Amino acid sequence: MKIKSLTIFRILAFLEGISYILLLFVAVPIKYWQGDEQYVKLLGMPHGLLFIGYIALAILISKERNWNTKETGIVLLGSIIPLGTFFVDAKYLKNS
């Protein structure tokens, strides 16, 4: 069960990271430079759902893998820092 949940978490982390990058570096600049909120609305909801899923699965995985508070905090922090999910994947998930 550990491998399956970890695989799902890695996929979710990747999707959350991509949605965050698109939101921050594509949709928000379009909103402020061109006044078009369409892309923020289009990407905002999926990113929000992926973010919530990432947090929930990160907590479950941390208990499953016996991460200490520091590791859990870094994994959780990775969801709010741009490109953070990719760092988390490389450092904490890829070799597990």
CA dihedral for 3, 88, 39, 25, sign (positive or negative): negative
**Which residues constitute the domain of residue 11?**
2-93
Mean of pLDDT over the chain: 92
What's the rounded mean pLDDT across residues 31-40? 92
Residue 5: pLDDT band (50, 70, 90) is confident
Complete DSSP assignment for 2-39: HHHHHHHHHHHHHHHHHHHHHIIIIIHHHHHHH---HH
Mean pLDDT of 17-37: 94
Which pLDDT does position 4 carry in this prediction? 86
Number of domains in the chain: 1
* Mean of pLDDT values over 51-73: 94
pLDDT at 58 over 80: yes
Mean pLDDT of 42-58: 95
Residue 78: DSSP 8-state: T
The overall pTM is greater than 0.75: yes
